[in-house]
Amino acid sequence: MRINLPETDQKRIVIIGGGFGGLKLARSLRNSGYMIVLVDKNNYHQFQPLFYQVATAGLEPSSIVYPLRKMFQKSRHVYIRVTEVTEIDPAKNRVHTKMGILNYDHLVLATGADTNFFGNQDFAKNVIPMKSVSEALYLRNALFSDYENALTSSDPEEKQAYLDIVIVGGGPTGVEVAGALAEMRKNILPKDYPELDCSEIDIHLVQGGPTLLAGMSDEASAAALKYLTGLGVQVELNARVTGYDGEHLLMKDGTQLAAKKVIWAAGIKGNTLPGLPEAAYAPGNRLKVNRFHQVEGFENIYAIGDLARMPEEKYPDGHPQVAQVAIQQADNLARNFILQKKGKPPQAFSYKDLGSMATIGRNRAVVDLPYWKFQGAFAWVVWLFVHLLQLIGFKNKVFVFLNWVWNYFTYDQSLRLIIKPRVKR
């Protein structure tokens, strides 16, 4: 069965993935004369940099998602299909989905990345990842459910396990989650749970390498460590984890950490799709692409964003897996599709690093710009401003801004709800 689409003489570009790269590409090509088909398993775009604020009850999920169809309401040649892709058939220029078969003239893979458990099934089964809004909500539920359980536990060891939190991974996600949880422990939990001694809540940030924020400057790494330790986070560097059974996190040196919650922010890998040869993949499940975004061995299949591994002189192992890379690659690929339509040669992609940043709670952030590195309160304001601008939708911008202002002056939010989906029997 084929997916129902209008029959036209337009060349059809099928984009798989509605993340930063796929969405930017579709928006750039909506009036280009191509038929654009955007395929995603969700009917909304997710703003990943703020997942941690949903997980720590700082924002509602609706504030950081945006409906795909609303974005293209006035675009006649953009079609949204909400389904999962099951296989690619390059020989026949078609994609198999749970909804049916979808033919293409050009296929763009922008499926992003998922959590990397490095082949450890204990981690995959027991830890809490945070690569989607639903996973962020799951973490929020787990946090507050465990505090409710701690109130009724009579076993001191069990109670402590409910209270303590372990975060594995010292990149931006791990650092931001740790900072948010530390501020929640200080400002929110004592008011909500006066029967608990919130000073007993231990927050551990476990990093396998010698520094935090390994992709940023030494100044940023040192500042992040200073801010987190100042907030009472127990940062453990050069500490590798080997297993987790749901009760105890096992370390390489033989030590254990008792915790019923382990948040996994330690690695990512590309979201692969069956149908492409093994030779097209690089380490980390990333697809090998040339400077024109074409997947190795194919002229009409492209990959952008976290999924693409494009060697460049400054980036011999591929670009960093961040939103700016996906957005810039989408811009360049859209330009090349338009050039192709005009019979002109494509332009090779070159990444322009606009900088990196991370926040570690109120008035604490680190910013690395190409020619300027700074930390502290001003960096925190810059972080807020940049992320507010990047949000899609005016209403989302307003709601997030109001939430931030309210939280800043009141040290409180009323979003600490345990919302469990009903399971249909």
Q: What CATH number corresponds to the domain at position 161?
A: 3.50.50.100
pLDDT for residue 166 is more than 60: yes
User: What is the percentage of the chain residues whose pLDDT exceeds 90?
Assistant: 69
Q: Flag whether 81 is in a domain.
A: yes
Q: Flag whether 375 is in a domain.
A: no
Q: What is the mean pLDDT of residues 28-40?
A: 94
User: What is the percentage of the chain residues whose pLDDT exceeds 70?
Assistant: 98
The reply to whether 148 belongs to the active site is no
Tally Cβ neighbours within 10 Å of residue 347.
13
Which of 266, 297, 319 is at the close of a domain?
266
pLDDT score for 395:
86
pLDDT tens readout for residues 54-68: 998 888 888 999 999
Q: Are residues 84 and 143 part of one domain?
A: no
Ranges 152-161, 251-260, 306-315, most confident: 306-315
pLDDT tens readout for residues 169-197: 999 999 999 999 999 999 889 988 999 88
Which of 266, 283, 303 is at the close of a domain?
266
Rounded Cα–Cα distance for residues 123 and 264 (Å):
8
Closest CA to 224 of 210, 215, 211: 211
pLDDT for residue 411 is more than 90: no
Q: Are residues 83 and 34 part of one domain?
A: yes
pLDDT for residue 423 is more than 70: no
Q: What CATH number corresponds to the domain at position 55?
A: 3.50.50.60
Q: Flag whether 225 is in a domain.
A: yes
Q: Are residues 323 and 248 part of one domain?
A: no
Q: What is the mean pLDDT of residues 38-60?
A: 92
Q: What is the mean pLDDT of residues 88-100?
A: 94
Q: Flag whether 7 is in a domain.
A: no
Q: Flag whether 412 is in a domain.
A: no
How many distinct structural domains can be found in the chain? 2
Q: Are residues 207 and 323 part of one domain?
A: no
Which of 286, 321, 341 is at the close of a domain?
341
> Catalytic pick from 7, 60, 176, 200?
176
Q: Flag whether 423 is in a domain.
A: no
Q: What is the mean pLDDT of residues 205-216?
A: 92
Q: Flag whether 272 is in a domain.
A: yes
pLDDT for residue 425 is more than 60: no
Residues ≥6 apart with Cβ < 8 Å to 188? 57, 411, 412, 413, 416
pLDDT tens readout for residues 381-392: 999 999 999 998
- The mean of the pLDDT values for the chain is 91
pLDDT score for 57:
86
Q: Are residues 298 and 224 part of one domain?
A: no
Q: Are residues 25 and 103 part of one domain?
A: yes
Domain ranges, residue 206: 121-266
Q: Are residues 56 and 80 part of one domain?
A: yes
pLDDT score for 424:
55
Q: Which two tokens stand for residue 359?
A: 């926040």
Q: Are residues 98 and 28 part of one domain?
A: yes
Q: Are residues 106 and 28 part of one domain?
A: yes
Residues ≥6 apart with Cβ < 8 Å to 123? 117, 241, 243, 244, 264
Closest CA to 164 of 251, 265, 262, 243: 262
pLDDT tens readout for residues 257-275: 888 899 999 888 998 889 9
Q: Are residues 246 and 169 part of one domain?
A: yes
315 forms beta bridges with 312
Q: Flag whether 402 is in a domain.
A: no
Q: What is the mean pLDDT of residues 38-65?
A: 92
Q: Are residues 279 and 167 part of one domain?
A: no
Q: Of 18-22, 70-74, 253-257, which range is least confident?
A: 253-257
